[in-house]
Amino acid sequence: MSFEFCNVYLKRLGHVWLCVGAMADGTIRFTAFSNRSREEALNSGVKTLKPWEKPVKAERAPNRVEKVFRLMGEAYMGRKVKRLPPLAWSRLKPFTRKVLGLTLQIPRGYVTGYGAVAEVLGFPRAARAVGLALALNPFPLLIPCHRVIRGDLTLGGYSIGLEVKAEILRREGVAFEKAEGALKVKPECYLSCEKLREKVKGDFKVF
């Protein structure tokens, strides 16, 4: 199998490091970020590549990548991402594409559960598979996997820490409360399976 090269770009925005991988055809292969270190952002992005996709560090980002950095920065601050750049959807498994496509439809200011996503997709017993697909999301911030939590309203997991997940959600308008010694999303911000169906009107994107 011949190698494909993925140009990797890094940029610091305030205290956050952003990382973007772009393929030769202009599609974005991954995004990643870290509020701890440049290395963590880089490693988080590169680990999503296939063995035949070779990362190449590039110094100067072209305009299309600078636009991606701006979108990531806006998403990190809780602002709406109005239009996605061309993402490498075809390199993802069909189930992952479905999960991420539905996740895109979750409105700012709301969250839903892994089980609710599975139910709406027509796989009611696949909550764990949904969680795995979101954990492997190669486009964090752009695809808002942080808007999916546990059914008990606790945050679940997040690759760079639950504090970051909670902070992004707060910026998007999600309210929290302390209950039973744990940080939980307030029920009014949670979309049940039925409410999620209403929000997406059964017309979620499958790429």
Q: Are strands 148-149 and 111-113 parallel, antiparallel or unpaired?
A: parallel
Q: Which residue among 19, 145, 189, 193 is the active-site one?
A: 145
Q: Give the containing element (helix H, strand E) for 101.
A: helix 94-103
Q: Which tokens in the block code for residue 142?
A: 């752009």
Q: Which tokens in the block code for residue 105?
A: 């439809």
Strand partners, 198: none
Respond yes or no: is residue 145 known to be catalytic. yes
Distances in whole angstroms, Cα of residue 24 to Cα of each of 2, 6, 7, 10, 29: 14, 7, 8, 17, 10
Task: Please give the positions annotated as active site.
Answer: 145
